[in-house]
Amino acid sequence: MNGDPIQDEDVIALLENLKTTGAPYPAPMFEQQKQAFKKGAALLGASMIVWSLFGLKGTLKIGFIENLLKWALIGALAVQVAVGGYVFRKEIRQLFLPPTPSVILEPLVKPFATAARAVPIPGSNTPEPEETVTPLPSPTARASLTPAATFNTDTLVEPSFTPTATRGNRLGLTSTPPGKRDTSTPDPTKTPKP
């Protein structure tokens, strides 16, 4: 210092002296940070590759998942339709074919099928179909068809129903259990209504 006024350049020169001062980056800290940076970059690089495969850049979009699900459902539906179509292909083909006359007439003709017979047309060469006659069974054969067991009709008691009381227009009925004959006499004062 010789008393000369200080210039801005002097200040700047002093500041520039500070460029090389200060501690260097300690090696362990430097290495630690470098490894962390490279690890982060590697992860990021890998994720970028995955995203580029999907044709997406940047962040995950919900629309993408929705789209994927939609197309998966559509695909599953299409497969179901295809399998069903293959399994029931005959039925489906019949649905779309035009109906033949025989298909229409068959249900109409069926009830009269036993009575229907071919009418010979005079002059035609077609031989008259032979009528098949089913012979009746012989008396002995008929006897063999009769059941061997005989029933005593006297022992059979049929249940009888007796009118007991009227409730309004309704006729009350009491039933006698089978095996017991109803011996009670009807009340002459009460005439059963029809």
* Helix H or strand E encompassing 106: helix 101-109
Query: Judged by CB, which is closer to other proteins: 20, or 153?
Result: 20
Tokens matching residue 131: 């009528």
Strands of the chain (E only): list them.
161-167, 170-175
- Is 1 near other proteins (CB under 8 A)? yes
CB of 54 vs other proteins, minimal distance in Å: 15
Q: In sequence order, what DSSP letters do the residues of 38-82 get, joined into one string?
A: HHHHHHHHHHHHHHHHTT--SS--HHHHHHHHHHHHHHHHHHHHH
- Is 131 near other proteins (CB under 8 A)? no
| Terminal C-alpha separation, the chain | 150
Give the total of residues touching other proteins (CB under 8 A).
Answer: 38
- Is 92 near other proteins (CB under 8 A)? no
List C-alpha distances in Å: 94 to 90, 98, 105: 6, 8, 17
Q: Using DSSP, how many helices (H) and how many strands (E) does the chain show?
A: 6, 2
CB of 39 vs other proteins, minimal distance in Å: 10
CB of 15 vs other proteins, minimal distance in Å: 4
CB of 87 vs other proteins, minimal distance in Å: 51
Among positions 9-68, residues that touch other proteins (CB under 8 A) are 10-12, 14-26, 29-30, 33-34, 36-38, 40-42, 44-45, 47-48, 57-58
Residues that bind other proteins (CB under 8 A): 1, 3, 5-8, 10-12, 14-26, 29-30, 33-34, 36-38, 40-42, 44-45, 47-48, 57-58
